Amino acid sequence: MFKNIKLRALWFILVVMSIIIVALFALIFPGLNKSVEQEQSPYYNEPFRPQYHFTPEANWMNDPNGMVYYEGEYHLFYQYHPYGTRWGPMHWGHAVSKDLVHWEHLPVALQPDEHGYIFSGSAVVDWNNTSGLGTDPKHPPLVAIFTHSKDKQIQSIAYSNDKGRTWEKYAGNPIMPNPPNVDWRDPKVFWHEETRQWVMILAAGEKAMLYTSSNLKDWTYVSEFGKPNGAPDGVWECPDLFSLPVDGDPNKKKWVLAVSINNGSIAGGSGMQYFVGNFDGKTFTNDNPANTTLWADYGADFYAGVTWSDDPNHKSSRLWLAWMSNWQYANDTPTSTWRSAFSLVRKIELKTLPEGIRMVQTPVPQLKQLRHLTKSISDQLVQPGINQLDDINGETLEIVAEFQVDQSTTADEFGFKVRKGERNETIVGFGRQNGTLFVDRTRSGISDFHGDFAKRHEAPLTVQNNKVTMHIFVDRSSVEVFGNEGERVITDQIFPDASATGLELYTAGGNVTLNSLHIYSLDKVWKK
Ligand code: FRU
């Protein structure tokens, strides 16, 4: 071979050059190998498995619990059945995050015991070791306050002195052994600085009950708040109570009482409402007439949302997330090895809108790290029958759009069709006639597991300064829509065909101008 010396030299040069080219390619495009690897990895890649929302590795999850920030980590505990994909003996699953986007799974934190299952509850940093459960003056203990449920519902506590890695149940449990009500659960505790005491709010049937304590162990009943305030139906669950500045003004503070109700929510089944008012350390008073109902989310899949405690990074807002399901069908959704996801982490603020002081929610900015810009459009007329996005495919998308809605607008309806395929589409739109933002999941995919799933969910939305904005997150089996910078939110699960990855920008009945549009594909956050 290669008797000819010139040929041999040529061959050598060719081989060396190929090696250099391959090496350069790998250096310049390191992501290519990785994304192929990621796509092929079966980890977090089952049908419908969310790619950037929180889900447990396996099995059943419902409410978020014990949300607390401690020494650089956001803790997220959750109602968890480690041995099945349906609701069962409740444990507290556990994960932590530094950026509210990537989560590290940790071992189960709390297991059922002789007092019963571990139902929902909260966690706080006991800064001054009021409980006496701390062991290291430099690192105060974390204390979890939760419901034990067996033949009755009672309240108990557990503590951790190692950054939440291991938990000890308090020897004196239950700390509140005498239920005044059959339903008596989901304690949310916070430190009330003005009266220098701990306050607990918990759900008791059709109301919330409030207690105070100096040491997290001995609690005194102080007041209650409930129906006829708010939505008329349903049992109250998972309440939360926190203060926020109005319009960012630290001198104008209001209190928000948020509560989940099951059933009777705006989109059917379970959902969340909130009240705006005042709290003096003992009693919450509602600013609005009792029959005013304020919905935290107008979709069917936003439940048991509670806010993070002790978060130094958000002094004039609160962060929360919620269980992205509905008790109507939570046990029957068509996922395989796990069941249920949490919503994105949202920032809550209070703003003065024309109708009054309202909660405004926006996705946390940390999510921007997942973006890959796919398409930008500005100042375009959108006409019926022409899809300007027919070159885009995706099942993990973020869509940021601003429409001009004025005298020149002739469209009755406009928006996006996401997860569009031969048989499916989920419509996210604005109806001009009645001023509604909506998600229509009547043709979104599998829905036969519950008769009420295939529905359209609407939220009132006012055109402001001739504009309507939509901020949409699609993650395989969910759609979250923030209308007009978070004034209205709709959160819905969907279960489309795997092949339904199309996207359409649509208008019906006439034209509308699209001021700006940015479409991003979003990265997967789950790696082994
Ligand atoms: C809300 C809820 C809570 C209870 C928990 C049980 O979804 O019913 O009231 O503590 O779930 O898993």
List the pLDDT tens digit at each of the 528 positions of the chain: 445 666 676 676 676 676 666 555 555 544 444 444 445 689 999 999 999 999 999 999 999 999 999 999 999 999 999 999 999 999 999 999 999 999 999 999 999 999 999 999 999 999 999 999 999 999 999 999 999 999 999 999 999 999 999 999 999 999 999 999 999 999 999 999 999 999 999 999 999 999 999 999 999 999 999 999 999 999 999 999 999 999 999 999 999 999 999 999 999 999 999 999 999 999 999 999 999 999 999 999 999 999 999 999 998 999 999 999 999 999 999 999 999 999 999 999 999 999 999 999 999 999 999 999 999 999 999 999 999 999 999 999 999 999 999 999 999 999 999 999 999 999 999 999 999 999 999 999 999 999 999 999 999 999 999 999 999 999 999 999 999 999 999 999 999 999 999 999 999 999 999 999 999 999 999 997
Q: How far is the CA of 144 from the centre of ligand 1 (A)?
A: 16
469 in a domain, yes or no?
yes
Q: Which residues are catalytic?
A: 63
Q: How far is the CA of 260 from the centre of ligand 1 (A)?
A: 10
- In the DSSP assignment, the letter for residue 184 is -
427 in a domain, yes or no?
yes
The string of DSSP codes covering 337-365 is: SEE--BPPPEEEEEEEETTEEEEEEEE-G
Could you tell me if 176 and 210 lie in one domain? yes
Q: Ligand 1, residues 59, 61, 79: which to mutate, most atoms within 8 A of Cβ?
A: 79
50 in a domain, yes or no?
no
Q: Ligand 1, residues 186, 240, 301: which to mutate, most atoms within 8 A of Cβ?
A: 186
Q: How far is the CA of 152 from the centre of ligand 1 (A)?
A: 14
Closest among 313, 312, 319 to 364, alpha carbons compared: 319
Nearest residue (CA) to ligand 1, atom 8: 237
45 in a domain, yes or no?
no
Ligand 1 atom showing the smallest separation from residue 270 Cα: 7
Under a CB-based contact definition with an 8 Å cutoff, are residues 497 and 445 in contact? yes
Could you tell me if 379 and 254 lie in one domain? no
The C-alpha atoms of residue 445 and residue 495 are separated, in whole angstroms, by 5
The C-alpha atoms of residue 278 and residue 457 are separated, in whole angstroms, by 31
Q: 3-state DSSP call for residue 373?
A: strand
Domain count, the chain: 3
232 in a domain, yes or no?
yes
With a Cβ cut-off of 6 Å, ligand 1 is lined by: 62-63, 79, 90, 119-120, 147, 185-186, 237-238, 304
47 in a domain, yes or no?
no
Could you tell me if 314 and 216 lie in one domain? yes
Could you tell me if 121 and 21 lie in one domain? no
496 in a domain, yes or no?
yes
Could you tell me if 351 and 465 lie in one domain? no
Could you tell me if 357 and 403 lie in one domain? no
Q: What is the pLDDT of residue 313?
A: 94
Nearest residue (CA) to ligand 1, atom 6: 119
- For 98, other C-beta atoms within 10 Å of its C-beta total 12
Q: Provide the residue range defining the domain that includes 397.
A: 368-522
Q: Which residue's structure tokens are 């607990």?
A: 200
Full strand arrangement of the beta sheet holding 338-339: 104-110, 91-97, 73-81, 59-70, 338-339
How far, in Å, are 43, 129, 140, 322, 403 from residue 74 at the CA level? 24, 20, 16, 15, 36
The C-alpha atoms of residue 321 and residue 95 are separated, in whole angstroms, by 14
Domain end marker among 329, 363, 397: 363
The C-alpha atoms of residue 93 and residue 74 are separated, in whole angstroms, by 14
CATH number where 216 lies: 2.115.10.20
Ligand 1 atom showing the smallest separation from residue 121 Cα: 10
Q: Which residues pair with 213 in a beta bridge?
A: 198
Could you tell me if 276 and 405 lie in one domain? no
Ligand 1 atom showing the smallest separation from residue 119 Cα: 10
Could you tell me if 373 and 417 lie in one domain? yes
Q: Which residue's structure tokens are 């929610």?
A: 361
How many Cα atoms are found within 13 Å in the side-chain-facing hemisphere of 392? 26
Under a CB-based contact definition with an 8 Å cutoff, are residues 318 and 479 in contact? no
24 in a domain, yes or no?
yes
Could you tell me if 373 and 354 lie in one domain? no
Closest among 66, 486, 68, 525 to 313, alpha carbons compared: 68
Q: How far is the CA of 178 from the centre of ligand 1 (A)?
A: 19
Could you tell me if 390 and 513 lie in one domain? yes
Q: What is the pLDDT of residues 265-282, one digit of tens each?
A: 999 999 999 999 999 999
CATH number where 518 lies: 2.60.120.560
Can you give the pTM of this predicted structure? 0.93
Ligand 1 atom showing the smallest separation from residue 87 Cα: 12
Q: Residue 381 has which token pair? A: 């007329």
Phi, psi values for residue 370, rounded to 5° = -90, -5
Neighbour-count burial for 445-476, b at 16+ CB within 10 Å, e otherwise: bbbeebeebebebbbebebeeeebbbbbbbbb
Could you tell me if 282 and 158 lie in one domain? yes
Q: How far is the CA of 186 from the centre of ligand 1 (A)?
A: 7
Q: Residue 453 has which token pair? A: 């799933």
Could you tell me if 208 and 171 lie in one domain? yes
